[in-house]
Amino acid sequence: MRLKPDQLAFLDEHGYLLIEGLLSEPELEAVHEELPYYFPTGQERHTRPERYRGLTTDVPFPVTGPAINQVFVHPNVLSVVGQLLGTNDVRLTDAVLRAKYPTSTEGGLRLHVDFWGKNSLTYPRDDGVFRQILILVYFSDVTEGSGPTFVVPREHYRDDPLYPWKRTREEHPGMYALERPVLAPAGSGLIVSMRTFHRGSKVTDPKGARFNAFVGYRAAECGWMETHHWGTGGETRMRDFLEAATPQQREVLGFPPPGHPYWNADTVLGVSRRYPGMDMAPYTEAM
C-alpha cells in the first residue's frame, strides 16, 4: 500500500490521517471469527451485563488467533510505517487488542498527546525516523454512537508548546470547540501524530461496541522511544506467531534478521529446536 501525496499532505497539515481499506474483507471476516474468544458483542454484553462484569478489554499481543496477530505486522501496516519513517528498519512498540463498550473510558476523555510516559523520554518530532507511529486499526465501523476518537486539527496550535499535555474542557474550552470525531468503516486505520491533541469518547449506543487493534511503531535507531520486550508475551502464543511469521515480521519484534552476525551453526540449531515449525532456510542461506 502506497500513501498518496495528498494523504501525506493531510497528515502533515492536520496531524491525523484515516486510511481506508487497510484490511481486506476476507481478513476482516477472519478477525471476526476470532474475536468471540475474547469479547462478547455489544448486544450480548447489554443483555447479560452481570456475566461480563470485570471483563478485560485490553489484551496484549500475541493473542490466541492468527488472523488478529497478523494485523499488528500486516504488510499494509509495515508499508505505511516504512513510508512515514523513511526506513524499513522499524520496531513494534505497542500491540493491544481492544474492545470498547458503553462503560469504557479507554484513552481518557480529556484531550491529550501521547508522547508522555512510556512512549518517549524526550519531546516528539514529527518527521522521518524521529516520528513515532500510532495506528488504530478498526475491526468494526466507527459511528457517532460507538465511541469515535476526537481530534483537534494541528493547524490550530502548530507552533504552540505541548505542555500541559492533558487539557480539560473547563480550562481549554476553545480547543474542545475545534475538535471533530473521526468516523470510519471497518478495515480502516487511523494515524494520530504524537503532537496532535485527541481524546477517546464514550460509546453512547447502549448495545454498541467497538473493536480495534492499537499498534505502535518506531525506527529501530530511536532507542529513547518505547522499547517492548516481546519475550514476555507467552511462550506458546509467541511460538505460534514466530513460526508462522516472515523474517521481516519477526524482525519488527527485534528478532535478528537473516545475515545478522548472531547467526551461526549453534544458534540456528538452538532456534530451530525452540521453534520447530520455523523455516530456518532464510537464516542458513544468509550465513
CA distance 220 to 238: 21
pLDDT of residue 227: 79
CA geometry: angle 93, 79, 255, nearest 5 deg: 45
CA distance 33 to 100: 18
Count the helices and strands in the chain (H runs, E runs).
10, 11
pLDDT of residue 89: 96
pLDDT tens digit sequence for 192-232:
999 999 999 999 999 999 999 999 999 999 988 887 888 76
Q: Is this prediction's pTM over 0.75?
A: yes
Runs of H (alpha helix) within the chain: 5-14, 25-34, 42-47, 66-72, 75-85, 173-178, 235-244, 247-251, 265-274, 281-285
Q: What is the pLDDT along the chain (287 residues), one digit of tens a residue?
A: 999 999 999 999 999 999 999 999 999 999 999 999 999 999 999 999 999 988 999 999 999 999 999 999 999 999 999 999 999 999 999 999 999 999 876 546 899 998 766 678 888 999 999 999 999 999 999 999 999 999 999 999 998 999 888 999 999 999 999 999 999 999 999 999 999 999 999 999 999 999 999 999 999 999 888 878 887 666 889 999 999 999 999 999 999 999 999 999 999 999 999 999 999 999 999 99
Question: Which residue is listed with cell 512512549?
Answer: 119
CA distance 200 to 184: 14
pLDDT of residue 130: 95
CA distance 257 to 261: 9
DSSP annotation string for 27-87: HHHHHHHHGGGT---HHHHHH-TTTTTT---EEESS-S-HHHHHHHT-HHHHHHHHHHHT-
Contact 39, 208 (CB under 8 A): no
Q: Give the residue from 256, 265, 261, 262 showing the smallest Cα distance to 284.
A: 265
pLDDT of residue 235: 80
Runs of H (alpha helix) within 105-187: 173-178
- C-alpha of 200 from chain center: 15
117 SS3 class: helix
Contact 190, 135 (CB under 8 A): yes
CA distance 250 to 97: 19
Domains of the chain: 5-231 (2.60.120.620)
> For the chain, what's the residue count?
287
Cβ count within 10 A of residue 195:
18
